[in-house]
Amino acid sequence: MRIVTRLLALVAVTAFAAAPTHTESLDQSIAYLLDYIAHSHAVFIRNGVRHTPAEAVAHIKDKAAYFKDKIKTPEDFIRFAASQSLLTGSPYLVIPPGGKEMRLDLWLSEALRAHRAATHS
């Protein structure tokens, strides 16, 4: 019986040690994405009008506040607050420094993936 108890304890300790030790909260992930936008030096395009990173952050924060009850994951944040215009349905676009115009939701999704990989390695 002692051997079984020790074996179960060893399995539990091993499983705990293998589990990720840090999981970022939703608020931390959103803060990361907003900071990523703010410091990007990119051009943001909403309904054909160019915006600065600061303007993009302000707009996305406002949309996130509007959809706060629907945002449960960082992916929800991107989908509801940073993907397309509610008025026209047009996708939000971004032109990263030295890069080509692309959809903002794809750009942020890639930034989130890279951030997760960096923080969980």
For the chain, the structural domain boundaries read: 23-119
pLDDT tens for 14-41 read 444 444 445 889 999 999 999 999 999 9
Q: How many residues can be counted in the chain?
A: 121
DSSP string, the chain: -HHHHHHHHHHHHHHHHHS-S----HHHHHHHHHHHHHTS--EEEETTEEE-HHHHHHHHHHHHHHTTTT--SHHHHHHHHSSB-TTT-PBPEEE-TTS--EEHHHHHHHHHHHHHHHH--
Mean pLDDT in the chain? 87
pTM reported for the whole predicted model: 0.80
Q: Which pLDDT score is estimated for 45?
A: 98
pLDDT tens for 92-109 read 999 999 999 999 999 999
